[in-house]
Amino acid sequence: MSISKNELLQALATTAAGYFSGNPTPPVNAAAVMKMLAKGLLEATENRLEVTEVQPAVPVEKSQGVDYMVCLECGRSMRSLKSHLRTSHKLTPADYRFKWGLPNNYPMMAPEASALRSGISKRVQKKIQTDPTVNKGGWPGRR
């Protein structure tokens, strides 16, 4: 498979833009990162076998359910990916998004789980603000 220099540069620009937007990089390191990305792209385009080897466990479009997220690394489904990625794959959300070419707004938590969590926290806050029987700070039993 061959790729033109223009195509390669375009792919590099796209990859780099995605990488830098998810990973703040000091300017002194930017050149090294670009070199690494270019090398990776060249290897990936020269050896398509390598490209097909790195397949997500499930297609990206099937990785998000209403109340679950599927880990593209291992195919396990869970409500929140963040701690799983850190403990099982030693990946940050930014690394994960970069590795699988995911958009920066790709969620780390299932929509329903995250709505539930913010809903609970809003209800709790409201109760604290409006309910006079709720102990506002201090230890229980001491008023």
| Smallest distance from Zn ion to CB 91, Å | 9
Q: By C-beta, is 51 or 74 nearer to Zn ion?
A: 74
Q: By C-beta, is 73 or 112 nearer to Zn ion?
A: 73
3-state class (DSSP) for residue 69: strand
Q: By C-beta, is 74 or 115 nearer to Zn ion?
A: 74
Q: List phi, psi (to 5°) of 21.
A: -70, -25
- Candidates 80, 51, 55; CA nearest to 68 is 80
| Smallest distance from Zn ion to CB 23, Å | 21
| Smallest distance from Zn ion to CB 31, Å | 33
Separation CA 1–CA 45 (nearest Å): 7
CB 69 within 8 A of CB 110: yes
Residue 95 makes contact with Zn ion by CB under 5 A: no
Separation CA 69–CA 63 (nearest Å): 6
Residue 71 makes contact with Zn ion by CB under 5 A: yes
Stretch that binds Zn ion, among 20-28, 59-67, 70-78, 100-108 (CB under 5 A): 70-78
Stretch that binds Zn ion, among 17-25, 71-79, 106-114, 130-138 (CB under 5 A): 71-79
- Candidates 40, 42, 76, 46; CA nearest to 58 is 76
Residue 81 makes contact with Zn ion by CB under 5 A: no
CB 110 within 8 A of CB 66: yes
Question: Length of the chain in residues, anyone?
Answer: 143
Residue 74 makes contact with Zn ion by CB under 5 A: yes
The residues of the shown chain that bind Zn ion, judged by CB under 5 A, are 71, 73-74, 88
